[in-house]
Structure formats: C-alpha cells, structure tokens
Structure 1
Amino acid sequence: MPVSSTDLILEDYQNVTRNNISQLSKLKNDVAVITGGTGFIGTWIAGLIAFLNDHYAFNTHVLLLARNFDEFKSSRPHLSNRHDIKFIATDVRYVVELPIETNWLIHTAGTPDNRFHATYPMETMSIIANGTHAILRAVERCSNFKMLLNLSSGLIYGTQPLKHAHMGEHFLGAPKCGTVSSAYAEAKRFAETLCHASRSQARIPVITARPFAFVGPYQSLEMPWAINNFLKDALSGHAIRVLGDGKTIRSYMYASDMAFWLLTILTRGSSGDVYNVGSPEPTTLAKLAQLIASQFDDALEIKLKTSFSNQLQNSRFVPDISYAQNTLQLAMTVDLETAIKRTLNWNKLIRKNDDYKNQ
C-alpha cells in the first residue's frame, strides 16, 4: 500500500517518542490550549498530542485558538475531525476567558513571516504584546492551571557575532532599536518581560522557549526563508538560487524534534526558565543548497547571486541548546540530511494526486 503524507508524519511521531513517552506523561487526562494553533508549530504539537492519545491513551484534550480555521479544516482533516481537538475562533488580543479546566497553554500566536512584519509592523507588535497580555489575564481564572509556555524567538538576541559559534540563553545581545525591521524581535522581548512580570505579580507559572530555525512538513514553501526557497526551487526542477556568496551560516531542527522538545519543556521545565530550541549543527547556505540538490537524480544547478553588499551581510544564527539537553535530557533524533529527505518526500506526496487535502 502506498505511503501517504499522514503515514510519513506518523513515522516521525513514532520515532521521536520511542523510549521517551514518560517525559510527557503529565499531559494525561488534561486540557491543553494552543494559541496560533493552526500554524506550523501549533499543528505539529496538536498532532503529537493526538498521536499520544491514539497510541498511549493520554486522553489529553486540545483546544486550538486562532482567528480562522477554514483552511486548517480543509487541509488537515485528520486533525480537524477528531473528537479530542476543538476550536476557539478569536483574535488572541481579544481573549477574555478560557475554559476554566485549562491546565496547559502553549502560546505560539504571531506569524514569524518577515514580510508581514515589514508591511504591518504595528499589527505585528500588537498581536504579540496585546495577545500575550490577554492570555496571561485569562489563565489567571483557570482553576487548575499548571504551566504556560511562551514561544519567544531566537531573534531577541540581535545579531550573533560571527566569532561566537553558538548563542546561549544568557547571551547579552539585543535587536537594533528604532528600526521597523526589529518590530517582531522587540515585541517578543517585551512579551518575555510581560510573562516574567505576570509570574511575579499574579503567580502565573511561565516558561519561555526561544525557537531558532526549523524544517519539516506543514511548513509552507512560500515562507521567505532560505531553506524553503531552496526546497521550492528543487521541487520545481529549477536552479537553486542562493542570495549572496553562500557563506551565511544557519542551522535547522526537524519538526518532530521541535514538537517533542516544546512539549517536554512545557511539562518538565521549571517556571521562570528560558530554553533555546533549535539545532546546534551549523551549515553554510551553499552547503545546504548542495545537500538539497544531492537528493535528486537529475543534476540541479546552484546559482550564487553575489555582490559586494551581499557579502557584507553574511551572518550566523545558531543556538546553544546545552541547557535543555542537560536539564531535561533532551536530544536531537533527526540529522539535517534526514530532515531534508523527509521534508522533500512529504512535499512530493502532497503534490501527488492532490494529496494535500489529506495531509
């Protein structure tokens, strides 16, 4: 029987939870709310909880909070038609109350798309700042609330010095203030401070995760990031276009590891703590393009779009994740080449026979 896109993701969940189920057992028989629940991160977390319900009888109920569910319901029927996943259709900024039985909340609301940030910087900051404030107020009313996981961003560190191989949670950097390009990162910094203020004033248990870069199924190839552009070019049979000389350095964690790490941080992390989430394994964009091209039988050209100004913009964005590894016994289970292979396979499956409707 041919493998479907849902089969591939089921394999991912099986692999990442092998011998690790006990780490998530606190979720059993509880209610978890995910704001921004229809996005890439929210979808992976909801899917992982659904997997735990189906295969390990967790009996965890999930409430996805987002402004609109039409596309999610049409493209994710394997999640949207489940009895253990419900929907709250609202703008996160206008949340007044949540179901009183809510035990856990994962706050992912706020798009990471830098095109949106550049076009609507005030909206970007409002969604993050006011949305976080509304959620913190709402969980105060929950009768047995256990933990709020606030998803911040690795961008709050500002520019990573090229001489620093990795950025740890105590790196004292910051975005450049006074520029529209910092709207997203500055709003995330404010949201972190707001969470700590709520923890102090209202005794809300809060943990912060700082995501870096990810790759995997459910991530739209239309997003304006290098790896997405490379994958899209390759799947279309076009030359892979690299902006710059290819020396920019990034790292990528696979989506199943991301989802497992975030749920583990939620359930086993300590209130007030901050954890980087991402891959510590660096790669240049040139090597990344070559790795993607090597997955195809037909030779794909790699085009470097170099200029003097491009070369001046070379950067590094790689986290130190040793704190989460050492304190929560977390590990990466998927290397970059495997992550690329599985992401390509999933995208090929959803392009075949209109499988997107059943992904």
Structure 2
Amino acid sequence: MAKRNKVNRGKVILVAGGAGFVGSHLCSALLDAGNRVICLDSYLTGSPANISGLERNPYFTAIEQDVCDEVELGEPLDQIYNLACPASPPSYQADPIHTMMTSVAGTGNLLRLAEKHGATFLQASTSEIYGDPEEHPQQEDYWGHVNCTGPRACYDEGKRAAETLCFDSLRSGSVDARVARIFNTYGPHMRPSDGRIVSNFIVQALKNDPLTVYGTGEQTRSFCYVSDLVEGLIRLMNCEPNPGVPVNLGNPGEFTVIELAELVLSKVRTASTIVHKPLPPDDPQRRRPDISRAKTLLAWEPKVVLEEGLSHTIAWFKKALPRQRATRNPRRPANQPQLSSISQDL
C-alpha cells in the first residue's frame, strides 16, 4: 500500500545547488507550492540565469556559498535538499578533489545544519553509485560495481560516502534523512557544455556539428524529464514515515545511445551526422532503474515520454544557446576537457 504524502505548504526550505539544472526547477516548484525558498549555490556549475526569474518573488533568497564551508542561516529551516555537486564528467573531473569534498564535507555540513534546525533532509544521490552494473535493471538493494580508484571515482564514491553519512545520521536519530538515487535527467536549464548526452546531441545538431557517440552506441540509458524528477524528489521529502531506504528516481524506458542520436536528428533540421569515438574508462554499459519502490512508497512514476521531453528541451536550447554563449560563467574554467557524452544526472 502506498504511503500518504503530506502536502508541503508554507515551509522554509533550503535548496543547496539551487541554481543548477535540477535545483532551479526544484526551487520554482517549491515556490509555486507556497513555500519560502533559500537557494545556496557556489555558481561553479550553477548559473544565476537559471534563477533570475525567481528573484522577483519575495519568498525567494539566493546566497552564494560553497557547501564545503560551514553553512549558517539566521532563520529556522523545515527542510534541506542537497543537490550541491557537479554532475557531469567534464565538470566533476575538472577538480576531482573538490568534487569528492563537496559530497563528503559538504553533505556533513548540511546534515549538521539539519540537526541544528530539526529539518528534514533529502540527499540527491545518483545511479552512478551502481557503477558499471552487473545487475540489470538496477534495484536499490544492489551494492554496485564501482572502480574506487578510477577517473569517475570522485563522483561515484563521493555520492556513496554521502549516502553513508545520511543513513548513519538517520540511524543515530540526529537527522530525518532521505536518499534519492537519480538516473539520467534532461530538460531546460541544462548547460550546453556540461557533457551530458542529451545536451551534447542537441547542441551539436543545432550547430550542424557531428553527433559524438562514444563506443559502439549500443550502451543504454534511461532518460527522465526534469519535471517528473522534481515531483519525485518532493514526494520523497514529504513521505511519512521516512522510508528508511534509498529510492531510485528515473524513467525505466531504456534507449541505446544510437537511438537517442537518431531521435535528436529526426527532430532538428540539421546537416549533422554521427561520428564514433573511444569509450571513456569505467563508463556504464547499461543503465535502467527499477522504480518499484518509488511506485509503492511514493505513488510516483514518470509521465513525460522521451519524444515529448526532447521537443521541450530542443525548443529551450534554440532560444537559450546564443544567450548562454554570450554570458558564460566567468568562474567556470573555459578549458574543461570534453569527456564522456553519456553522463547522467543533475
């Protein structure tokens, strides 16, 4: 039987990473539900442009800060969402030590803040904790197949450590912590150069550049539109009682990389073709969530099919791409390497 979810109205909510791709959509949804929202972001990969439309709302505040520094707020908090971490290989591999510390020290700082305020805490974890999985589809009780010394480990192992901190805090009774394992997410507010497969393909098609497929293209991913994911996050935060276990959030529809590339080409008027490059180390070959737990505990499953979500995302990129070229975040390194185009998540 599905557990009843509380309606979330009038709470004071901190969203760490709130100027990022998913975080900005979450801030907007929480404001629409009648909450006071505080966005905390270092703007290393997040963008002020993502939240510019929210700053006119008197119940919204944006604070520039790195979660690796101790977080202090002068007002009570009811809930904390932790989405603060680079989520694509070019971003998290640009400064891997900082990426790892964002997940470990940053999560620790926010958990202490939650304990101080008695706030419910939600950790945005990732399907990357399953590594290159030997189990398919991936259920939450699968422990994963991760290379702890490889080039992706700063993200994969950082998120695994963050989950440990959350469940130790929950077991100790200090924080009401919940953990969402997010699978590939796409939609408006993605950065053109973030290295995620959907944004890569759309931007390459719009620029008439070849669509870069790593490996054979037969590796699979499952793509969840951002509005569906945000609904799942909010439901998990407000689920009573606390499920006490991690919950997969993603779309179980499974597509090969080649299928996605061909779908983008069918939706964009372009001269682009498909080119193949070597597969990066430790890149997962198959990725699809088992969302049985989310269906049972949260009465949640995604509604937006890939073709519909891609149409919305392509339309947004057509408008946003020239503007984002002109306003590149000066704090972000301009020479980040373009690594895997088949990344996941936030």
Shorter chain as normaliser: what TM range?
Answer: 0.7 to 0.9
Q: Give the 3 Å change call, closer, same or farther, for CA 42–356 of structure 1 in structure 2.
A: farther
| Superposition deviation, residue 296 in structure 1 | 2.9
Residue in 1 aligned with 2:114? 139
Distance in 2, Cα, partners of 1:70 & 1:192: 22
Deviations 1:233-285 (A, max 9, x none): 11113332322222111111001111111111111154322111111111011
Residue in 2 aligned with 1:291? 263
Amino acid at match of 2:253: E
- The answer as to 2:138 corresponding to 1:167 is yes
Give 3-state SS (helix, strand or coil) of 1:327's partner.
helix
| 1:194-273 equivalence runs, <5 A | 194-268=165-239, 270-271=241-242, 272-273=244-245
> Aligned to 1:323, which of 293, 305, 312?
293
| 1:94-109 equivalence runs, <5 A | 94-109=69-84
- Is the CA contact 2:205–2:272 (under 8 Å) kept in the aligned structure 1? no
Distance in 2, Cα, partners of 1:71 & 1:306: 28
> Aligned to 1:46, which of 7, 10, 27?
27
Gaps in structure 2 of 5+ consecutive residues: 328-346
Distance in 2, Cα, partners of 1:314 & 1:36: 25
Give 3-state SS (helix, strand or coil) of 2:202's partner.
helix
- Is the CA contact 2:291–2:301 (under 8 Å) kept in the aligned structure 1? no
Residue in 1 aligned with 2:16? 35
- Is the CA contact 2:99–2:155 (under 8 Å) kept in the aligned structure 1? yes
Q: TM-score, normalised by structure 1?
A: 0.82
Structure with the higher fraction of residues in helix conformation: 1
Distance in 2, Cα, partners of 1:287 & 1:226: 12
Deviations 1:198-227 (A, max 9, x none): 122243100000111111000112111222
| Superposition deviation, residue 333 in structure 1 | 1.2
Distance in 2, Cα, partners of 1:250 & 1:319: 9
Q: Give the 3 Å change call, closer, same or farther, for CA 69–156 of structure 1 in structure 2.
A: closer
Distance in 2, Cα, partners of 1:256 & 1:356: 27
Residue in 2 aligned with 1:155? 128
Distance in 2, Cα, partners of 1:314 & 1:170: 18
Gaps in structure 1 of 5+ consecutive residues: 1-21, 53-57
- Between 1:96-105 and 1:124-133, the stretch displaced more is 96-105
Amino acid at match of 2:147: K
Distance in 1, Cα, partners of 2:110 & 2:170: 13
Distance in 2, Cα, partners of 1:226 & 1:266: 28
Distance in 1, Cα, partners of 2:141 & 2:178: 15
| Superposition deviation, residue 100 in structure 1 | 4.5
- Is the CA contact 2:91–2:194 (under 8 Å) kept in the aligned structure 1? no
Q: Give the 3 Å change call, closer, same or farther, for CA 61–340 of structure 1 in structure 2.
A: same
Distance in 2, Cα, partners of 1:120 & 1:356: 24
Q: Give the 3 Å change call, closer, same or farther, for CA 216–203 of structure 1 in structure 2.
A: same
Paired-residue identity, %: 26
> Aligned to 1:66, which of 1, 21, 41?
41
Residue in 2 aligned with 1:115? 90
Q: Give the 3 Å change call, closer, same or farther, for CA 65–30 of structure 1 in structure 2.
A: same
Per chain length, whose mean CA-contact separation is higher, i.e. which structure has more relative contact order (CA < 8 Å, sep 6+)?
A: 2
Give 3-state SS (helix, strand or coil) of 1:97's partner.
coil
- Between 1:339-348 and 1:314-323, the stretch displaced more is 314-323
Amino acid at match of 2:131: G
Give 3-state SS (helix, strand or coil) of 2:251's partner.
coil
Distance in 2, Cα, partners of 1:196 & 1:68: 28
> Aligned to 1:88, which of 63, 75, 78?
63
Distance in 2, Cα, partners of 1:335 & 1:239: 25
Distance in 2, Cα, partners of 1:345 & 1:135: 36
RMSD in angstroms over aligned alpha carbons?
Answer: 2.8
Amino acid at match of 1:133: G
- Is the CA contact 2:182–2:248 (under 8 Å) kept in the aligned structure 1? yes
Larger radius of gyration: 1
Q: Give the 3 Å change call, closer, same or farther, for CA 313–107 of structure 1 in structure 2.
A: closer
Distance in 1, Cα, partners of 2:104 & 2:289: 24
Amino acid at match of 1:135: L
Give 3-state SS (helix, strand or coil) of 2:156's partner.
helix
